Amino acid sequence: MTDERTQPVAVQFRFDGTALEAPSELTIAGGLVFNGILSWRTTRFAGMPRGLFCGIGTCFDCLVDVNDCVAVRACVTVLRDGDVIRTSCSTGGRDNA
Amino acid sequence: MRELVVVGAGPAGMAAADAASRRGVAVTLIDSASRLGGQIYRQPLCDPDGSGPSRPAGPALPARFRSLQNLHVEMMLGVSVWSASRGPNGFTLRLDAMSGGRDTTVDAQALVLATGASELVLPFPGWELPGISTAGAAQALLKSQHVLVGRRVLVAGSGPFLLPVAASLADSGAKIVAVVEACSPSQKIVKLAHVLRYPSKVAETLGYVQRLAIHRVPFLSSSALIRCEGNDRVQRAVVARLDRGWVPIPRSERFFEVDAACVSFGFVPRLELCRQLALEDSHDGVHPSASAVHGALMATSVPGVFVAGELTGVGGAVVAELEGRLAGHAAASYLGRAPGPVSKSECEKVSSKLRRASSFADLLDEIYALQPGWTTWPTDSTILCRCEDVAWGTIRRAIDTGTRTVQAVRGLTRCGMGYCQGRTCGPALAMAIAAFTGACLGDSGDLHSRPVAIPVPLHEVAKWSNPWEFEASVGNASHRRDELKS
């Protein structure tokens, strides 16, 4: 979902095995929402799906696993070409974008 | 040892850095984002590994801040401050650089804290469904990335922030099914008349109203989004009319098909670093959060530490910038730069503008005061703590057993113990305790005291060479709240 303005070159990435494309200079959350994907984490007790919430890095609801890092904040982490992104169900880890 | 470190590069922090550096102070400006501007002047993303942004997006940084680059202000961007402590000669900040590599601590003779605010969302059934975000998240995604949160969007909550968010989403092609405001303008007609004394603000508001009218967006006042439904994502939003105390009126529900909902009930200061430095703060019993105590020139209870912007009570970008300018001047004076006639006259002008801007912010506070009826929106199964899946009913039972402080409810239920450390649920929890027990808001404590301001890897904490120092900082952060418990 994006507006009408011209988007620059695309980056290619994978989410839970699916190949996706998004404009460059998006966050991981931006790239997933751009593709209509709204959830990429399950909560540790109830297993409920979660995605973007605060959008500014404070709520940690949008944690996602990227390449070899677990529990990265999708809303403040830049999406890079070739990123392999997985739904996060970890209970801890390093937010080391 | 650096001379002055400013934490936060929004309008308050940028103005402080500008004012102090113009008086010859060596300033370091730190922000967790990779660009200047903070949330309000949010700039396009900049990949720390790559080149700069290739497309224009978001509002340009006002020209008065662009000169910061020429003033030899040292920029530390993409760097989060996770701890602040006092030493014999000044202050130590501990840093977590998202892209790694740089200094892990900085020492400073003086500090300006301008860490801003985070958004307040009050809980309702279904508020944790994917597709529901803060209004700020929708605005951030649009301003810096040109991505819309959804195609059919409901914007709900309370406060002046709803209008610009709805207007920019509508301008960018989203169908805004309604803007839902809990307050009732007609009940505040006398206060609204006072708004007319601020013509530029009236013009700004009319601009948003006009844009929403062009897109035929319905504006529902005295109403709230009281429930969202959907299968793993929001699909239907239920809006009810409210009485004066924000209790839903029976059989007044309206239903909207949506693929996104953006919610905001205002903003809460981010007081972690203030608490770590044991700065005095106070709670007025009305706002959802405490704010930092300061003098007319933004000095705090700790000599050498100044505050500006939302930390002093949420007042918006204009107030923040004026406070930042004063804080920068005050820090320069503290560091021995005698104020010349130019800076004296600037401070007088800024102080007078600040009085006017602050009285407008106070007026908005009165118009948009939160009412306790929101505590009737959640059901027992509604999640309050989004990190730890703690339900409203669990919180209610804890309060029913006689628990009277936020810290104690947290200990009993794990509410506020997750990744966000209570930033999201803490203010709502404090307000719920006040509403259920009749206690004064502010007397039940809060979750602002965090010895580690953002989650960092253990090896960062392990670098702290003197464990006693760490313990002292933890003590600073929590001692006053412990007194409340006893």
Contact B233 A38 (CB under 8 A): yes
Any A CB within 8 A of B233 CB: yes
Q: Per-residue pLDDT for B481 more than 80?
A: no
Q: Nearest CA of chain B to the CA of A12: how many Å? A: 16
Q: Which of B390, B288, B272, B364 is nearest to B32 (CA)?
A: B272
Any A CB within 8 A of B243 CB: no
Q: Per-residue pLDDT for B254 more than 50?
A: yes
- Provide CB contacts within 8 A for B456, sequence distance 6+: B82, B96
The three-state (H, E, C) secondary structure of B253-311, written as one string = CEEEECCEEEEECCEEECCHHHHHCCCCEECCCCCCCCEECCCCCCECCCCCEEECHHH
- Note the pLDDT of residue A19: 97
Q: Would you report the helix, strand and coil content of chain B in percent, each value rounded to 5?
A: 35, 20, 40
Q: Would you report the helix, strand and coil content of chain A in percent, each value rounded to 5?
A: 5, 35, 60
Q: Which helix (H) or strand (E) holds B240?
A: strand B236-241
Give pTM, 2 decimals.
Answer: 0.91
- Note the pLDDT of residue A90: 58
Mean pLDDT of chain B: 90
Q: Per-residue pLDDT for A6 more than 60?
A: no
Contact B47 A44 (CB under 8 A): no
Give the residue on B whose Cα is nearest the Cα of A78: B47
Rg (CA), chain A: 13
Q: Per-residue pLDDT for B178 more than 70?
A: yes
Q: Which of B210, B187, B145, B318 is nearest to A31 (CA)?
A: B145
Q: How far apart are CA B11 and CA B2, in angstroms?
A: 22
Give the residue on B whose Cα is nearest the Cα of A46: B389
Q: How far apart are CA B55 and CA B426, in angstroms?
A: 38
CB < 8 Å from B in window 10-49 of A = 23-27, 29-30, 33-34, 38-39, 43-46, 48-49
Structure tokens at A25: 């200079």
pLDDT > 90 fraction of chain B, expressed in percent and rounded: 73
Q: How far apart are CA B460 and CA B386, in angstroms?
A: 26
- Note the pLDDT of residue B59: 62
Q: Which residue has the higher pLDDT, B371 or B450?
A: B371
Span A25-54, mean pLDDT?
Answer: 95
Give the residue on B whose Cα is nearest the Cα of A9: B54
How big is the A-B interface in CB pairs under 8 Å?
141
Contact A60 B387 (CB under 8 A): yes
- Note the pLDDT of residue B478: 47
pLDDT > 70 fraction of chain B, expressed in percent and rounded: 91
Terminal alpha carbon distance of chain B: 39
Contact A52 B149 (CB under 8 A): yes
- Note the pLDDT of residue B109: 98
Q: Which of A1-15, B80-94, B109-123, B354-368 has the lowest mean pLDDT?
A: A1-15
Q: Nearest CA of chain A to the CA of B156: how many Å? A: 14
